[in-house]
Structure 1
Amino acid sequence: MTVRRIIDAMTQTLQTPFGFASTAKEVLAGVDLSGTRALITGASSGVGIETARALAGAGAGVVLGVRNVDAGKEIAARISESTGNQDVGVGYLDLADLGSVRAFAGSWRGPLHMLVNNAGIMALPELTRTPQGRETQFAVNFLGHFALTVGLHDALARAEGARVVSLSSNAHLFCPVVFDDLDYRFRFYNPIGAYGESKTAAVLLAVEAGRRWLGEGIVANAVHPGAIATNLQKHTGGLQTPPERRKNVAQGAATSVLLAASPLLAGVSGRYFEDCNEAPLLSEKPAMFGGGVAPFALDPGNAERLWTVATSLVS
């Protein structure tokens, strides 16, 4: 059977043969990534590990960008053992520390074919800020990844066909980027609202990177991995999603690896995907567990403005 992508006649969104229950291994069946290199941030737990395992299993050289290098080395060894791929390495990366991000990006050598901005934190109960004064969720989920992506631009360009995957969430529907108060100097802090805002920013990163760099062969897209029981929910008391809408980590990594490596997504850029398919554009917030993407998250004006602001914040 020929596997192909199609355009849904009703929504005009890109659709693939994969869906909610598809796993990362199924998405990459028959895909050969030999000779390519991938970087996955936050690859020391949950979806990050499974994303790294799937890409390594398809033959890619993989680097785990993690804060705990010792734990990362243990995970890398397990991935190598389970996949037979010995080209799995570890690098120290703290996305809350721009100095760490610069050092990591500056040490990268050679082309980078796949960058999966996977790391994240969720719903910190109290307002905290990084040493640079940024609200922590915005700093880790977006600003650190922005600095990393820009810092690795030359490596991505050298790949001549690189892909950037920016992990977002359906929580982006809760809040647009509030440009006049990114660090909650005036607003009352809301843990979920701040998380949602950072995930809107993650989509806008993909939109603007795709616009700026498409001529260099670099595409960028955003994904909502789904509701997966991982350490990400440690501040929220666990999943509130109905059981039928929950995924395991193999299913949660599927959309990420689809965007990172599947031939079905060749040349596709600046879009938002969920359940292995492009999400429909919404006109209003859906029911609690509905899907779709908010117009403010794909707005090119918002994306360009955020890129300019972020550039000044990481300089």
Structure 2
Amino acid sequence: MITTGFGFDTTALDVVEGVDLKGRRAVVTGGASGIGVETVRALAAAGAEVTIAARDIDAAQRVAASLTRSTGNKRISVAHLDLASQPSVRAFARNWDGPLHLLINNAGVMATPFTRTPEGWELQFATNHLGHFALTLGLFNSLRAEGARVVNVSSSAHLMSDVVFDDIHYAHRAYDRWQAYGQSKTANILFGVEAGRRWSSEGITMNALMPGSIATNLQRHLTTQELQDRIRQSGATATRRVKTPEQGAATTLLLATSPQLAGLSGKYFEDCNEAPPAPAGTHLRGVAPYAQSPESAAHLWKASEETLWSLKAA
């Protein structure tokens, strides 16, 4: 198990203290809200050129202007990206020019009502996994130009569900918003497992993380009662500690920048350290064995490619 000297209370700025990212280019999906803002702040504070990839351009521009003032870094820009829209993902990748050193796959939706994308895909899987899968593959040549780190923001919710390959998009089974979210977060982890196998010779690494319990806009689809019910069902207690957005972004920054993790791929971290195997029956901590399965990771990659190819064939 990899331990780093950082922990629960560490902030993103703590992680990048002393780290020089001048000359490095970064993309942060969902960088206009929640822990995305703090991720952009820390990267910019360390000197990186950062692009905020977001659906809401106006909100992203306001965040970029604010962070430019607070960090003194004038190399913060904004680009449109809707991960639930494959044309938008393709356009973003096509318009990217030059190398990319850090890709932070941070954006996501959680526990949404049952919704299908125009392609007929379940929204959470389409956004949280397929959108980021297509984006990362679309940026592959820029990522391998000088070697890069890709970071996938997953969740302890992956413990709620493996990827149900027989019916990923709920064509036949009853929809459960939390299981749907869970399988999309498992996919975030498995993506890194297979990327580590495929891309090690390209110098590209990919790891996943649990940011922690943080009150952000991610919970916008839930009522207060639904949030309380979810906490009870997960086995959490009323005293479970909640992180600030600054603390929630710390593990992301660790995976993106720490010299301790150079060359590392396919791992899952929480509280700035590698997560241990999850105890049986918990939905709170650790990593599920199915989320580290090389066989499932290879299956997911193939299924994801075939899903995207089906668009081109249509």
Query: TM class, shorter-chain normalised?
Result: over 0.9
The one-letter code matched in structure 1 to 2:247 is Q
* Alpha-carbon displacement from aligned partner over 1:235-268 (angstroms, at most 9, x marks no partner): 2335546444210000000000100111121111
Is residue 277 of structure 1 aligned with residue 264 of structure 2? no
Is residue 46 of structure 1 aligned with residue 52 of structure 2? no
Question: Which one of 129, 132, 138 corresponds to residue 151 of structure 1?
Answer: 138
Matches within 5 A, 1:166-177: 166-177=152-163
Number of residue pairs matched? Answer: 299
* Alpha-carbon displacement from aligned partner over 1:72-115 (angstroms, at most 9, x marks no partner): 11111111111000000011000000011001001111111000
In structure 2, the partner of 1:20 is 8
Q: What is the rounded CA distance, in whole Å, between the counterparts of 1:142 and 1:243 in structure 2? A: 32
Is residue 213 of structure 1 aligned with residue 187 of structure 2? no
In structure 1, the partner of 2:124 is 137
Matches within 5 A, 1:1-16: 13-16=1-4
Q: What is the rounded CA distance, in whole Å, between the counterparts of 1:73 and 1:221 in structure 2? A: 28
Q: What is the rounded CA distance, in whole Å, between the counterparts of 2:246 and 2:279 in structure 1? A: 31
Q: What is the rounded CA distance, in whole Å, between the counterparts of 1:23 and 1:171 in structure 2? A: 22
In structure 2, the partner of 1:185 is 171
* SS of residue matched to 2:207: strand
Is residue 251 of structure 1 aligned with residue 247 of structure 2? yes
In structure 1, the partner of 2:219 is 233
Q: What is the rounded CA distance, in whole Å, between the counterparts of 1:168 and 1:104 in structure 2? A: 22
In structure 1, the partner of 2:77 is 89
Alpha-carbon spacing, 1:20–1:283, altered in 2? closer, same or farther (3 Å): closer
Q: What is the rounded CA distance, in whole Å, between the counterparts of 1:137 and 1:208 in structure 2? A: 21
* Alpha-carbon displacement from aligned partner over 1:18-37 (angstroms, at most 9, x marks no partner): 00110000011100000000
The one-letter code matched in structure 2 to 1:141 is N
Shift of 1:283: 5.8
In structure 2, the partner of 1:307 is 301
For the aligned residue pairs, the C-alpha RMSD in angstroms reads 1.1
Shift of 1:133: 0.5
* SS of residue matched to 1:91: strand
* SS of residue matched to 1:209: helix
The one-letter code matched in structure 2 to 1:276 is C
Q: What is the rounded CA distance, in whole Å, between the counterparts of 1:207 and 1:215 in structure 2? A: 14
CA contact (8 A) 1:114 1:163 kept: yes
Q: What is the rounded CA distance, in whole Å, between the counterparts of 1:215 and 1:283 in structure 2? A: 34
CA contact (8 A) 2:61 2:78 kept: yes
Q: What is the rounded CA distance, in whole Å, between the counterparts of 1:245 and 1:204 in structure 2? A: 27
The one-letter code matched in structure 2 to 1:33 is L
CA contact (8 A) 1:47 1:250 kept: yes
Shift of 1:214: 1.0
CA contact (8 A) 1:284 1:294 kept: no
- Ranges in structure 1 where 5+ consecutive residues have no aligned partner: 1-12
Question: Which one of 258, 264, 267 corresponds to residue 268 of structure 1?
Answer: 264
* SS of residue matched to 1:246: coil
In structure 1, the partner of 2:102 is 114
Q: What is the rounded CA distance, in whole Å, between the counterparts of 1:265 and 1:296 in structure 2? A: 23
Scaled by the length of structure 1, the TM-score of the pair is 0.93
CA contact (8 A) 2:89 2:134 kept: yes
The one-letter code matched in structure 1 to 2:270 is E
In structure 2, the partner of 1:31 is 19
